[in-house]
Amino acid sequence: MGKKLLLKNDHITGIQGYDVYRREGGYASVEKALKTMTPEAVVEEVKKSGLRGRGGAGFPTGMKWSFLAKPPGVARYLVCNADESEPGTFKDRYLMERIPHLLIEGMITSSFALGANTSYIYIRGEYYYVARILEKAIDEAYANGWLGQNILGSGYSLDLYVQVGAGAYICGEETALLESLEGKRGNPRIKPPFPAVAGLYGCPTVVNNVETIAAVVPIVNDGGDEYAKVGIGKSTGTKLISASGHINKPGVYEIEMGITVEDFIYSDEYCGGIRNGKKLKAVVAGGSSVPILPAHLILKTSAGEKRLMSYESLADGGFATGTMLGSGGFIVMDEDTSIVKNLWNFTRFYHHESCGQCSPCREGTGWMEKILHRILEGHGSMSDVDLLWDIQGKIEGKTICPLGDAAAWPVAAAIRHFRSEFEDYIKNPKNIRDVKHYYRLNNLVEA
């Protein structure tokens, strides 16, 4: 068994409630931070821990925190990004539903470190029932003196609120999230300024993923150095992986970074191998946005080394032969999966979720979906593959926010690694099952 830092008490009955959580050592990080540490010291521990943002980008959290502007007399905010919407990712829901107090504890300790006196947890609207769980936990925390005025007599005060969204993938982008939290459309902001300078209500703001904030708890409890000992290289600590697709044991697994991908897919401790004795065809390792890799490249790098579950190893080879750890949404596909259809499914998702603000994403995502649909309908031509390649290249890096990149990367990777499959569909349209049904679902009748 690998080391567990976040889910170590996951199996304990009643851990959802305050009493059991507290009995098992909960809220110790708040006591330690507020009673024995300065905010700067907490930031320092997080820096030492090497913790990297668990939402997908993997930016060092301590550095992000240290960028926070601190003009005198201006409020600062910590906003927790619980808008988990990246296809293939469900770890935050698991964590919040199972151990809600871990997130609340992390929010208190982190808010203290950042000097925020009001903090928000922005949770996607579909998780309304989880928001209720969090609200209950927050009420318990207030009742036990962990929130409110002058917490533990330290002079530090914090109010914590849960804010629900209403169905928009784009609100996982931090500036779109802030817009949504301000009661507006979830249109990403144009940067600069960055949230660290002008975020929520124009005030300095840090936005962190649920898992990132939860990880602050063991970091403060055990010290940053101790946390950094777990994991491998610059991928310190543990990571929650949401495993799904054609595997025997889908679910959320806390892994110590550095285990091999092969182990993760095939060992009984984790995914337990491919369902129905099939062979592995491809893996999307970090949520739908990251490049898909064929079996031979996900198990081993192009240099023939075993690929590990870590930021660096998964990215080995760049986009040519590597991918990204991303949000840890690990989608496994067996030998019968159609990569082209799967790509169409992803592309339709990005088309549906584009906010429509900037032209490359607004127009390009729909265009790509239509071309893929044309191929699946049996009307594709070889030039369509090149056209797709060209369009994705014209979206990537040209948009306001990373949704454009997220829409472009899967297309590029599917063509890069599975071009022959596209060509096969185009040459042999009879290989294609009817997808008209699904296209109609999207109310797109043309083409």
Partner 1 sequence: MAKVTIDGHMIEVPDGTTILQAARMIGGDVVPPAMCYYSKLKTSGGYCRTCLVKVTKGSEKDPRPMPKPVASCRTPIMDGMEVQNKTSPDLMEARAGVVEFLLINHPLDCPICDQAGECSLQDLAYEHGLSRTRYEFSRRTFQKIDIGEKIKLHMTRCILCYRCVKVAEQITNGRVHGVMNRGDVAEISTYITKAIDNDFSGNMIDVCPVGALTDKTFRFKSRVWNVNPVDAHRNCPTCSGRVMLWMKGPEVFRVTARKDAYNEVQDLPDGKPGWICNECRYDKKSTSDWTIEGPSKISRHSVISQNHYVLQEPAHKPLLNAVKAVPANWQLENKK
Partner 2 sequence: MALTKEIRFNDETMALVQRMMKRYPEGKHKSALIPILHIAQAEFDGWLSPEVMDYVASVMKIQPIEVYEVASFYSMFNLKPVGKCLIEVCRTSSCWLLGAEDVIRHLEKKLNIKVGETSADGMFTLKTVECLGSCGTAPMMQVGADYYENLNLEKVDQLVSRFKAEGKRKSYTDQPEPRSL
What does the binding site for partner 1 look like in residue numbers (CB under 8 A)? 168, 185, 190, 192, 351-360, 362-367, 370, 387, 393-394, 397-400, 446-447
Is position 86 an interface residue for partner 2 (rule: CB under 8 A)?
yes
Please report, for residues 47, 79, 149, 203, 402, the alpha-carbon distance to residue 196 in angstroms, rounded to integers and kept in the order given: 17, 11, 25, 8, 18
In the bound complex, what is the minimum distance in angstroms from residue 387's beta carbon to partner 2?
24
Q: Are 402 and 418 in contact (CB under 8 A)?
A: no
Tokens of 400: 């306001």
Is position 316 an interface residue for partner 2 (rule: CB under 8 A)?
no
Is position 164 an interface residue for partner 2 (rule: CB under 8 A)?
yes
Q: Where are the alpha helices (DSSP H) in 116-209?
A: 128-143, 174-181
* Contact window for partner 2 (CB under 8 A) among 59-67, 209-217, 337-345, 374-382: 337-345
88 DSSP β-pair partners: none
Contacts 24+ apart (CB under 8 A), 14-21: 15/98, 15/99, 16/97, 16/98, 16/99, 16/100, 16/133, 17/140, 18/101, 18/137, 18/140, 18/141, 18/143, 18/144, 21/99, 21/101, 21/102
Out of 168, 230, 315, 412, the residue judged to bind partner 2 by CB under 8 A = 168
In the bound complex, what is the minimum distance in angstroms from residue 231's beta carbon to partner 2?
23
Q: What are the residues whose beta carbons fall under 8 Å from the beta carbon of 155, sequence distance 6 or more? A: none
How many chain residues bind partner 2 (CB under 8 A)?
A: 65
Is position 151 an interface residue for partner 2 (rule: CB under 8 A)?
no
Which run of H or of E encompasses 255?
A: strand 251-256
Within 10 angstroms of residue 304's Cβ, the number of other Cβ atoms is 6
Is position 437 an interface residue for partner 2 (rule: CB under 8 A)?
yes
Is position 306 an interface residue for partner 2 (rule: CB under 8 A)?
no
In the bound complex, what is the minimum distance in angstroms from residue 367's beta carbon to partner 1?
6
Q: DSSP secondary structure string, 137-158? A: HHHHHHHTTSSBSSGGGSS--B
The residue type at 127: Y
Is position 436 an interface residue for partner 2 (rule: CB under 8 A)?
no
Is position 333 an interface residue for partner 2 (rule: CB under 8 A)?
yes
Is position 92 an interface residue for partner 2 (rule: CB under 8 A)?
yes
Distance CA(365)–CA(164), nearest Å, equals 27
Which one of partner 2, partner 1, none is in contact with 180 (Cβ closer than 5 to 8 A by kind)? partner 2
Distance CA(182)–CA(189), nearest Å, equals 12
Which one of partner 2, partner 1, none is in contact with 360 (Cβ closer than 5 to 8 A by kind)? partner 1
Closest CB to partner 2 among residues 175, 244: 244
Q: What are the residues whose beta carbons fall under 8 Å from the beta carbon of 268, sequence distance 6 or more? A: 249
Which one of partner 1, partner 2, none is in contact with 169 (Cβ closer than 5 to 8 A by kind)? partner 2
The three-class DSSP label of residue 191 is coil
Which one of partner 2, partner 1, none is in contact with 67 (Cβ closer than 5 to 8 A by kind)? none
Is position 245 an interface residue for partner 2 (rule: CB under 8 A)?
yes
Distance CA(361)–CA(396), nearest Å, equals 9
Is position 166 an interface residue for partner 2 (rule: CB under 8 A)?
yes
Out of 88, 231, 291, 294, the residue judged to bind partner 2 by CB under 8 A = 88
In the bound complex, what is the minimum distance in angstroms from residue 241's beta carbon to partner 2?
10
Which one of partner 1, partner 2, none is in contact with 398 (Cβ closer than 5 to 8 A by kind)? partner 1
Question: Site residues (CB under 8 A) for partner 2?
Answer: 16, 75, 84-90, 92-93, 97-98, 118, 124-129, 132, 159, 161, 163-169, 180-186, 201, 242-246, 250-252, 284, 288, 329, 331, 333, 337, 342, 345-346, 349, 352-353, 355, 437-438, 440-443
